[in-house]
Amino acid sequence: MAAFFIRRVFWIIPVVVTVAVVTFFLMYRAPGGPWDLDKPLPRSTVRQLNAKFGLDKPLWVNPDAVGDAWDEGEKNPLTLGREFLDSQFFNYMFGVFQFDLGPSYASKGADSVQSVIADKFPVSAKIGLVGIIFAIVTGLPLGIIAALRQNTWVDYFSLFFSTIGVSVPTFVSGLLLLIFMSQVLDVSPIRRPDEWNGLGPAYLLPGIVLGLGTTAYIARLTRASMLEIKRQDFVRTARAKGLSNTPVITRHMLRNALIPIITILGPAAADLVTGSIIIETIFNAPGLGREFVDSIGNRDYSMIMGTAIFYAAIIAFANVTVDLSYGLIDPRIRQRR
């Protein structure tokens, strides 16, 4: 188990590097730069800022310098290597592996990307945590009851709710709930900035809206898994031995049905934690997702890179956690490792 865990953790490194490469070159393909403000800066100031943050260096190699050296007969692969070591991409990734995500260009280097993530991410994490808890507490029992009461009104209600939850996007359900509460109930879901401190009622509504789609998906998957396990021979054998309904459901049916649910639960949890961008905008939550959107608009390169790498690491680690949890549920999987 320890060797498997180490191998899977090391697989996170190429995933993060791949995300960094794609994000880096797509980011620089967008027009504009971090100093393109409403009030244009003097060219001398722009040059000084580029020199200060290393933006005057080539992205990965300087093709003109390499081409000139090649034309002059210096056909040495070290030329390309020296250019790469002096590039923006290498210097940034070198800092990443030292756990330095760089300065935020929006603050002219006054704030680091790590400090912004440390300040903003807890809000996104709390919204995602509420969404995960709501999805598990609601979706799992709904799917179990629907499978045990197949072809009854409970089953039909579960399918209807699941279809609605999967079909309606979160930004639609969030806006509808926002309008309903403010216009019909005369209650404003928009909270003051100080109400996002701690884990208070401000997180309840956006967390529920964020978790609706995952709730519906878990309910549908739980129902399908329970119906499949329900028809297996070992379930009929357990009932033939005289076991009551409760141990048959909890020990035999539910435990085996949880494997496909956990398969999607890890990535779904990571998506809920990192995917609250629209919800944060609707409910005016000061989270990292909203900061990420703002950084794209401001061409804050280091903030875009740092947030993308941070999110990629979270999702990759969630997948590793899912793989490890298989062995805790099914001993046969643990033995094969």
Q: What is the pLDDT of residues 201-223, one digit of tens each?
A: 788 888 888 888 888 888 888 88
Question: How many whole angstroms separate alpha carbon 204 and alpha carbon 129?
Answer: 10
Residue with tokens 């790590």: 114
pLDDT given at position 59: 77
Number of Cα atoms under 13 Å in the Cβ half of residue 255: 13
Domains of the chain, residue spans: 56-100, 113-336
Residue 194 has pLDDT above 50, yes or no: yes
- Average pLDDT taken over every residue of the chain: 78
Please give the residue that has the higher pLDDT: either 64 or 282.
282
Q: Which of 11-25, 146-160, 229-243 is predicted least confidently?
A: 229-243
Question: How many whole angstroms separate alpha carbon 102 and alpha carbon 113?
Answer: 6
Closest CA to 55 of 16, 81, 28: 28
Q: What is the DSSP string of 82-146?
A: HHHHTSHHHHHHHHHTTT---B-GGGTTSSBHHHHHHHHHHHHHHHHHHHHHHHHHHHHHHHHHH
Percent of all residues in the chain with a pLDDT value above 90, rounded to a whole number: 0
Cβ neighbours of residue 32 closer than 8 Å, sequence gap 6 or more: 299
Distances (CA, A) of 119 to 54, 94, 125, 179, 321: 26, 24, 11, 30, 25
Distances (CA, A) of 77 to 84, 167, 274: 11, 54, 41
Question: How many whole angstroms separate alpha carbon 304 and alpha carbon 296?
Answer: 6
Residue 312 has pLDDT above 70, yes or no: yes
User: Each residue of 65-113: pLDDT tens digit?
Assistant: 444 444 444 445 555 566 667 778 888 888 888 888 888 888 777 788 8
- pTM for the structure as a whole: 0.78
Is the domain covering 113-336 a CATH 1.10.3720.10 domain? yes
Q: Which of 65-69, 82-86, 148-152, 185-189 is predicted least confidently?
A: 65-69
The DSSP bridge partners found for residue 103 are: 112
Give the pLDDT band (50/70/90) at residue 327.
low
Closest CA to 275 of 217, 315, 321, 218: 315
For the residues 19-35, what does the mean pLDDT come to? Answer: 82
Give the pLDDT band (50/70/90) at residue 63.
low
User: Each residue of 109-139: pLDDT tens digit?
Assistant: 778 888 889 888 888 888 888 888 898 899 8
In total, the chain counts a number of residues equal to: 337
Question: How many whole angstroms separate alpha carbon 158 and alpha carbon 173?
Answer: 18
Number of Cα atoms under 13 Å in the Cβ half of residue 112: 9
Residue with tokens 């739980």: 222
